[in-house]
Structure 1
Amino acid sequence: MTTPGIEEHGLRLIPFHGLRFVPERVGSLAAVTSPPYDVVVRPDGLNHLESADPHNIVRLILPQADTPDERNEQAARTLRDWLAEGVLRTDPEPALYVYEQRKGELLQRGIIGALALSAADAGIVLPHEDVMPQVVADRAGLMRATAANLEPLLLTYRGEDAGLPDSSAAEIVEATADRPPLLATTTEDGFRHRLWAITDPAEVAAVTRDLGHRQALIADGHHRWATYLRLQAEHHAPGAWDFGLVLLVDTARYPLQVRAIHRMLHRLPASEALAALEPHFRVRTVDGPLPAAMAALGEAAATGNAFLLTGDGRFHLVTDPDPELLDRTVRQDRPEAWRRLDATVLHATLLDALWHVPDTPEHIGYIHDTEATVEMAERLGGTAVLLHPVREDVVRDLARQGVTMPRKSTSFGPKPATGLVLRSLNA
């Protein structure tokens, strides 16, 4: 999207020396990739990735040790070893990278580069979710130790609307995708990934000039964005810490999918959760299996707040909140669209007022995968709270108003695979 008056203060994306795995030194490029750190379902997913290849990127983004300091030092040591052994190598020329993901009829392309963090001050990069301080602190410790951006944020912008001429950036992305790629691999989720480098000065200048007129929405990576800003503030001299690794996708050309992020309540059994809702919500059991229950949730969410609870082997549809209860529990100083969000009602009314569940990792897990959330709730005797996704236009409208949604309200995708290109802050 273009914002009037930001032509000289819009997105500033610059080339960088990409740090990439050397194909000959690993089992396969697919085997060393990972989903973003917050999508990996631990411990099963973590163990699976670690066993896929001794050089899987998960050993950097989710190192395993007893304390945070030990984890961070382990990641830093692993990165140094891989560089010394030639497992990772720095590209000789600074580049912007065109990145493509394809699965069936789904195609997404975008540009990976180092984005100037000054865009945060000017309101050019729009967050739409709150963040958890402990997660930012965790990511900051890892980034300090490794002096690297290990995985890109996913940002979206609106290029030219359908029927209008393409922008320079879009034209260059499409032309680049017709060339032989630097790498191509297919991950086990069925996505085919390809990466190209843009090194021609004229093409780089055209892309950066076009993006200099744009405003972007953080689709995925709010905690990493907050981490970038924290670490920039710690480094007073201008330099590499003034930039952060991002993937920019033009959603006028490549619309993203929006999914919900579910809650796993570790210490609240489903029976207790349901009992606390009885006087205030309509609760009814719906038929499974899971896809049928999620379809019922989708139908209910079209007309009002709706949640699907499980953990006891059955699916419970929760709808029709008491309006007086919402008035008492949901803050009044926000737009009505924010007050009606399922995530808002979930956190303010259910978690805080009725269930008294603290928003801490030992009490609440945030899980992207629906089946994994249900399985974990049944295995641990907790409660899975399944949500329906928020529409993208609602997210953008609230972000433009400067209103952040409750943390982990949305999951935009497809998300970039971690491990295809990294950015060293020492290069």
Structure 2
Amino acid sequence: MNSTGPVDKGLRLIPFSGLRYVPERVGSLSAVTSPPYDVVVRPDGLHQLESADPYNIVRLILPQAATAEERHRRAAVTLRQWQEEGVLAPDPEPALYVYEQRRGEVLQRGVIGALALSPPADGIVLPHEDVMPDVVEDRADLMRTTAANLEPLLLTYRGEPGAAPAGHAPGAAGGPGAAGGTGATGTGGTTGPVGTSAVIERTLGRAPLLTTTTEDGFSHRLWSVTEPAELAEISGDLAHHQALIADGHHRWATYLRLSAEHTAAPGGGGGAAGRTPGPWDYGLVLLIDTVRYPLQVRAIHRLLHRLPVDRALAALDGSPGSPAPFRVRTVEGPLPRALEALERTAATGNAFLLAGDGRFHLVDRPDEGLLARTVRADRPAAWRELDATVLHSTLLDHLWRIPDDPEHIAYIHDAEAAVAQAERRGGTAVLLHPVREDVVRDLARQGVTMPRKSTSFGPKPATGLVLRDLARG
């Protein structure tokens, strides 16, 4: 997504001295990494990560204690102790980091750095989802107390088409033709990579800082880029681009909040006019060019803690003499087969899969009159037709009357985990089909945000490979 404004109105990514695990001080790099904090399935996933290694990063991103204040204080103390013990150590000089993830034919490469923050009104970094204020508050308290960016956001931009990346299989999972992927890698073109992509390609021939394979089967490699000419090449290229937040809306909102706090503080840099920006005016991000490395787009499912499946279905029956709000059909399992039925149905309109009672119930064909009464009319048609919009406006708010708070709804990335928890706890899992990336991007360009937790872009960066200590800039 190229910017049309002046060069200095695009992305500004600066190097920093990454804080990284010292391999000799931990069991293995794979044992100390974690998925992003909001992907960890609590409590099962949390306990598994905590037991993997005493220095697992989950002790920083999801610290455990009786109160929020104590959790955040414990994370700050732990972070300081690990640095004093030599478990975590800063790199000797500021760098941008080339990061690669690979599993089978899935390949993703990008650049990690500290990105200059800008509000949505500037149109440089575009959000596409609403956020939950309580989550932003919690993440802000944690980041404020630790004075660190503990995990990078995932941002995407649209670079120039060029030759296919080395080692990339066009049309493979995660590549062009994969579900949710958009854009061409330019496999028929004759030009080579330019700008940031050219630096990435050259960096691949050097020895990486680290190599590890995590439990999910992804291999990870990380390189540092410190040469002034290459840093300038990346800077000049990114200055012509805007980015879409693929994953990390709450952390981005946290970055903006804390930057504003430090702007208002006496003597704060804050990026205000006439002042030199300080470390809080930048946030840790991973930037991916989706022309060369299209991301996979997956759905985020809902677990309704206090709504059993029979009550959820009863609300969809309708009253005598009135049309049913939705059509409901029982479909055959197991889960992969039921998800295939959801995919086929979602291709022609809104559709959801309910589970939790040992069966799968396909919900589709919402009553048009009901949609007209419950879905906002002051948004584009693409927003009104989103499954997430209909789920929240019509099902959750109107028919089921479920408050959107953690006591009533959990957001779970894995369909199997959502179904298992619903069956174990007597709730309802609502499974969704992913929205296309082009729909997400078009809405973001219009400044229209989707319902919270509408999409899950991936693969997501592993947490724990590189941190940013704000005390070091």
Alignment correspondent of 1:377? 422
What CA distance in whole angstroms lies between the structure 1 residues aligned with 2:119 and 2:125?
6
Question: Does residue 351 of structure 1 match 2:399?
Answer: no
Structure-to-structure mapping, 1:12-411, within 5 angstroms: 12-118=12-118, 120-161=120-161, 162=186, 163=189, 165-236=192-263, 237-238=268-269, 239-278=278-317, 279-411=324-456
Bigger Cα displacement from structure 2, 2-11 vs 355-364: 2-11
What CA distance in whole angstroms lies between the structure 1 residues aligned with 2:37 and 2:382?
30
What CA distance in whole angstroms lies between the structure 2 residues aligned with 1:31 and 1:342?
37
Q: Secondary structure at the match of 1:403?
A: coil
Q: Offset at 1:177? A: 1.4
Q: Offset at 1:178? A: 1.6
Is the 8 Å Cα contact of residues 307 and 319 (structure 1) preserved in structure 2? yes
Q: Secondary structure at the match of 2:444?
A: helix
Q: Secondary structure at the match of 2:8?
A: coil
Q: Offset at 1:92? A: 0.7
Letter of the structure 2 residue corresponding to residue 126 of structure 1: L
Query: What runs of 5+ residues in structure 2 fail to find an aligned partner?
Result: 162-185, 270-277, 318-323
User: C-alpha deviations, 1:267-292, integer Å up to 9, x for none?
Assistant: 00000001101221000000000000
Letter of the structure 2 residue corresponding to residue 370 of structure 1: A
What CA distance in whole angstroms lies between the structure 2 residues aligned with 1:6 and 1:108?
29
**TM superposition score normalised by structure 1:** 0.99
Q: Secondary structure at the match of 1:426?
A: helix
Q: Secondary structure at the match of 2:122?
A: coil
Alignment correspondent of 2:166? none
**TM superposition score normalised by structure 2:** 0.90
What CA distance in whole angstroms lies between the structure 1 residues aligned with 2:63 and 2:462?
18
Alignment correspondent of 1:425? 470
Letter of the structure 2 residue corresponding to residue 3 of structure 1: S
User: C-alpha deviations, 1:255-275, integer Å up to 9, x for none?
Assistant: 000000000000000000011
What CA distance in whole angstroms lies between the structure 2 residues aligned with 1:12 and 1:119?
14
Is the 8 Å Cα contact of residues 6 and 214 (structure 1) preserved in structure 2? no
Bigger Cα displacement from structure 2, 111-120 vs 382-391: 111-120
The CA RMSD over aligned residues, in Å, is 0.8
Is the 8 Å Cα contact of residues 18 and 422 (structure 1) preserved in structure 2? yes
Q: Secondary structure at the match of 1:366?
A: strand
What CA distance in whole angstroms lies between the structure 1 residues aligned with 2:137 and 2:418?
25
What CA distance in whole angstroms lies between the structure 1 residues aligned with 2:262 and 2:85?
30
User: C-alpha deviations, 1:178-218, integer Å up to 9, x for none?
Assistant: 21100000001100000000000000011011000001000
Q: Offset at 1:120? A: 4.0
User: C-alpha deviations, 1:313-353, integer Å up to 9, x for none?
Assistant: 00000000000000000000000000000000000000000
What CA distance in whole angstroms lies between the structure 2 residues aligned with 1:171 and 1:83?
35
Q: Secondary structure at the match of 2:100?
A: strand
Is the 8 Å Cα contact of residues 247 and 456 (structure 2) preserved in structure 1? yes
Letter of the structure 2 residue corresponding to residue 420 of structure 1: L
Q: Secondary structure at the match of 1:196?
A: strand
Letter of the structure 1 residue corresponding to residue 51 of structure 2: S
User: C-alpha deviations, 1:8-29, integer Å up to 9, x for none?
Assistant: 2100000001000000000000
Percent identity among equivalent residues? 74
Letter of the structure 1 residue corresponding to residue 28 of structure 2: S
Bigger Cα displacement from structure 2, 68-77 vs 118-127: 118-127
What CA distance in whole angstroms lies between the structure 2 residues aligned with 1:369 and 1:200?
41
Is the 8 Å Cα contact of residues 11 and 119 (structure 1) preserved in structure 2? no
What CA distance in whole angstroms lies between the structure 2 residues aligned with 1:5 and 1:154?
23
What CA distance in whole angstroms lies between the structure 1 residues aligned with 2:6 and 2:463?
31
Is the 8 Å Cα contact of residues 231 and 241 (structure 1) preserved in structure 2? yes
What CA distance in whole angstroms lies between the structure 1 residues aligned with 2:200 and 2:2?
18
What CA distance in whole angstroms lies between the structure 2 residues aligned with 1:214 and 1:371?
38
Q: Secondary structure at the match of 1:343?
A: helix
Is the 8 Å Cα contact of residues 37 and 58 (structure 1) preserved in structure 2? yes
Letter of the structure 1 residue corresponding to residue 64 of structure 2: Q
Is the 8 Å Cα contact of residues 9 and 119 (structure 1) preserved in structure 2? no
Is the 8 Å Cα contact of residues 128 and 398 (structure 1) preserved in structure 2? yes
Is the 8 Å Cα contact of residues 115 and 284 (structure 2) preserved in structure 1? yes
Query: What runs of 5+ residues in structure 1 fail to find an aligned partner?
Result: none
What CA distance in whole angstroms lies between the structure 2 residues aligned with 1:30 and 1:40?
15
What CA distance in whole angstroms lies between the structure 2 residues aligned with 1:257 and 1:77?
37
| Moved >4 Å (runs of 4+) | none
> How many corresponding residue pairs?
427
